[in-house]
Amino acid sequence: MAEQPTLYDGLISTRAIRRYLPDDIPTDDLNAIMFAATRGPSGHNSQPFRFLVLRRTPGAAAARALLAKGFALSWQGERHDPPAEDQSRRARMARTMNEFVDTIADAPVIVIACNRDRHSRTDITAGASVYPACQNLLLAARAFGYGGVITQWHHPVRAELEAVLGLPEGVVIAGVIPLGKPAGAHGPVRRLPLPDLVYEDTYGNAAAWAADPEGTRYTGG
């Protein structure tokens, strides 16, 4: 394993990674990443999460092709190609997203996070037993020198994808998580100012002690 950050430093500097180097992820690393993902908590330790891994193998080709279609359809409405001279953050993000969508079929690994929902709950709280594991997955990827992002861009092809993956009745896709070695790098992330997000006693009442560390950079929600 490459040098890795402390737990706390990892938490505050793991970025959404959408551009990958071509390198494969060795199965030893994948195993360690999935082990950490499955250590995530779930209600009553019911472990409803199931992770379906797609590597760049023939058995994954049909699902990958479908995902490429879904991602393209999901991004279609927002897609634009900024002029080359535009180097604004917004323009760079647009290029990253275009590349992400255009190359998703070749992402080193794509993990389909599923939820086996025995109680058929479809409200937000069902997510409390699967997304902590997804976050563990992203953080473990980071620990091993990789990165990824949780997406819902399979949505336009959801029914076909469920059939190709052979999902049984009652199992839903909670997210699609591409992984690979970052073409860029992890580092500090931008959020709203902390007092906008952290309250005390009543909603909207900024906690008096909530303050961002010096040098924190912001972005709107």
Which of the residues 150 through 179 are near its own copies (CB under 8 A)? 150, 152, 165-168, 171-172, 174-175
What phi, psi does 206 have (nearest 5°)? Answer: -55, 130
Query: What is the separation of C-alpha 59 from the centre of its chain, rounded to a whole number of angstroms?
Result: 23
Determine if 79 is a binding residue for its own copies (CB under 8 A).
no
Instruction: Please say which residue, 76 or 122, places its beta carbon nearer to its own copies.
Output: 122
Q: Which of 49, 71, 100, 146 touches its own copies by CB under 8 A? A: 49
Determine if 39 is a binding residue for its own copies (CB under 8 A).
yes
What phi, psi does 201 have (nearest 5°)? Answer: 70, -50
Our CA angle for 191, 192, 195, nearest 5°, is 130
* Residue span binding its own copies (CB under 8 A) among the ranges 66-74, 83-91, 99-107, 148-156: 148-156
Element (H, E) at 139: helix 131-143
Instruction: Please say which residue, 103 or 135, places its beta carbon nearer to its own copies.
Output: 135
Distance from C-alpha of 22 to C-alpha of 141, rounded to nearest angstrom: 16
Query: Which is it for strands 171-180 and 147-148: parallel, antiparallel or unpaired?
Result: antiparallel
Scan residues 19-38 and list those touching its own copies (CB under 8 A). Answer: 27-28, 30-32, 34-36, 38
Name the residue among 10, 17, 9, 6 with its Cα closest to residue 183. 17
Instruction: Please say which residue, 3 or 85, places its beta carbon nearer to its own copies.
Output: 3
* Residue span binding its own copies (CB under 8 A) among the ranges 51-59, 67-75, 79-87, 98-106: 51-59
* Residue span binding its own copies (CB under 8 A) among the ranges 66-74, 84-92, 99-107, 209-217: 209-217
Tokens 């993956």 belong to which residue? 165
Determine if 50 is a binding residue for its own copies (CB under 8 A).
yes
Scan residues 84-143 and list those touching its own copies (CB under 8 A). Answer: 114-115, 117, 121-128, 130-132, 134-136, 138-140, 142-143
158 with 104: CB under 8 angstroms? no
